[in-house]
Chains A and B, each alone.
Chain A
Amino acid sequence: MKEIDCFGLSCPIPVVNTKKALKDNPKELAVLVDNVAAKENVSRFGKAMGYNVEVLEIDGGWKIQLKK
């Protein structure tokens, strides 16, 4: 699964980066974030784009998995 690293980035940058990564309509994508606002915003954006969203806790933050 392709991963984008959004550690250290404040909103809205993680959402902007996620939007760019979803441009070609991939089947799946993982987004790494380390603040709660980014976790919520990326999850919400993923759902709005029609993905199933799963949030896993990882060291120092979360891995948000988007799957179609």
Chain B
Amino acid sequence: MSKEKRNLIIAGVLIGAISVALVAFGNPKNMGFCIACFIRDMAGAAKMHSAGVVQYVRPEIIGLVLGAFIISKATGEFKSRGGSSPMLRFLIGAFVMIGALIFLGCPFRMILRLAGGDLNALVALAGFICGIAVACFFLARGFSLGKYYFQNNIEGTSLSAVNALLLVLLIFVPSVFAFSEKGPGSMHAAIIISLAAGLIVGVLAQRTRLCMVGGIRDIILVRDYTLIVGFVAIFVAALAGNLITGNFKLGFEGQPVAHTAHVWNFLGMFVVGLGSAMLGGCPLRQLILAGEGNSDSALSVAGMFVGAAVAHNFKLVGNATENGPNTYGKVALVLIIVILLCIASVRTFAKKK
């Protein structure tokens, strides 16, 4: 076995175990980590949307970005770079977020939901794979969002600095934020635990290049089974952890923070797969790359933040109590698929200058 695969297994097992532990420490079920849900909670805490049940400054997100920042500075991998279709990345980031909130989870939480026995996540996985396969069709034919350029360090440090500031505010002046009193936003581990978990996973993900999209993409595109190992290791470790802690429940109905609208679970994660593969990585990977100085990824994170606010303000999200998205959400999702395919076609087939 290659060193890369071995490291991915170790990291994946640790990350799966940490995810289960976070639930035991107070996070919502099957939500030890969820990049989409957590960024959405932060948008709520910053009063970008007013969905009262999903407002909290998630230290896990802060830890992921700062963990990647610190380790990449230490290893010399930090490089400030950007300028590869920033506005498109912002838009695609927002679209990925809307897709994820219609399913109710990013690819990371999809694995954790699977490991909790939530079969709706299996439907979503099928959509996710299809989305990545469509992106691979374009990638193999020359799709690219264009070249990045090296920039001044202050550009690549910006998102990390914002996260450091959020942490300071959370600890010293939490009253500036809105916090949920009930619902998923009110369920969380202690700040120090969440932060430590984020930092550890941030370091592991940076070192191993762990990516939920990359694993499936590499198999389709070049028959490379390296990155998928991390995905599988997280699943196995979280499954074992859920069985031990009694949080495993097999079925479609009554799953935590989930709905059973199969078509929309499928299409929601189809958008996440397609959009993330166009961005070059899943939402987790975007956070890590942003920490490493990639301002293109920082912009897709900003897009996710705004996309979360849009998804809640315009009521596009998949609703756990009303069983899926309403008409607005459905129309928006279909439009997003059309727009993503247009962007991919133009960036693949339009005559290059």
Question: A residues bordering B, Cβ < 8 Å?
Answer: 7-13, 15-16, 19, 35-37, 40, 44-45, 48
Find chain B residues with CB under 8 A from A11 CB: 214, 280
Closest 8 A-B residue pairs measured CB to CB? Answer: A8-B147, A10-B280, A13-B144, A8-B148, A36-B77, A37-B209, A16-B139, A45-B222
Q: Judge whether B149 and A8 touch: CB under 8 Å.
A: yes
Q: Judge whether B224 and A48 touch: CB under 8 Å.
A: yes
Q: Given A36-B77, A37-B209, A44-B226, decide whether A12 and B221 contact each other with a Cβ distance below 8 A.
A: yes
Q: Which residue among A10, A35, A44, A45 has the maximum number of chain B CB atoms within 10 Å of its CB?
A: A10
Q: Mark B1-38, 1 if CB is under 8 A from A, else 0.
A: 01010000000000000000000000000000000000
Q: Judge whether B77 and A12 touch: CB under 8 Å.
A: no
Q: Given A9-B147, A12-B280, A13-B144, decide whether A19 and B4 contact each other with a Cβ distance below 8 A.
A: no
Q: Given A8-B149, A9-B147, A10-B148, decide whether A16 and B209 contact each other with a Cβ distance below 8 A.
A: no
Q: Judge whether A9 and B144 touch: CB under 8 Å.
A: yes
Tell me the complex Cα distance, A66–B84, Å. 28
Tell me the complex Cα distance, A13–B142, Å. 8
Q: Mark B125-151, 1 if CB is under 8 A from A, else 0.
A: 000000000000001101010011100
Q: Judge whether A16 and B140 touch: CB under 8 Å.
A: yes
Question: B residues bordering A, Cβ < 8 Å?
Answer: 2, 4, 77, 79, 81, 84, 139-140, 142, 144, 147-149, 209, 214, 217-218, 221-224, 226, 280, 296
Q: Judge whether B222 and A35 touch: CB under 8 Å.
A: no
B199 to chain A, nearest CB (A): 21
- 8 Å CB contact of B222 from A13, A15, A37, A40: A15
Tell me the complex Cα distance, A29–B221, Å. 20
Q: Judge whether B221 and A15 touch: CB under 8 Å.
A: yes
Find chain A residues with CB under 8 A from B221 CB: 12, 15-16, 19
Find chain A residues with CB under 8 A from B148 CB: 8-10
Closest to A37 in B: B209
Tell me the complex Cα distance, A14–B81, Å. 17
Known: A11-B214, A12-B217. 20 other contacts (CB 8 A): A8-B148, A9-B147, A10-B84, A10-B296, A11-B280, A12-B218, A12-B221, A12-B280, A13-B144, A15-B221, A16-B139, A16-B222, A35-B79, A35-B81, A37-B209, A44-B2, A44-B4, A44-B224, A45-B222, A48-B222
Closest to A10 in B: B280
Tell me the complex Cα distance, A10–B218, Å. 14
Find chain B residues with CB under 8 A from A48 CB: 222-224
Find chain A residues with CB under 8 A from B2 CB: 44
Q: Judge whether A19 and B222 touch: CB under 8 Å.
A: yes
Tell me the complex Cα distance, A35–B77, Å. 8
Find chain B residues with CB under 8 A from A13 CB: 139, 144
Tell me the complex Cα distance, A4–B148, Å. 17
Q: Judge whether B224 and A45 touch: CB under 8 Å.
A: yes
B349 to chain A, nearest CB (A): 15
Tell me the complex Cα distance, A44–B8, Å. 15
Find chain B residues with CB under 8 A from A44 CB: 2, 4, 224, 226
Q: Which residue among B77, B147, B296 has the maximum number of chain A CB atoms within 10 Å of its CB?
A: B147
Tell me the complex Cα distance, A12–B218, Å. 8
Closest to B147 in A: A8
Closest to B281 in A: A11
Q: Which residue among B148, B214, B222, B280 has the maximum number of chain A CB atoms within 10 Å of its CB?
A: B222
Find chain A residues with CB under 8 A from B144 CB: 9, 13
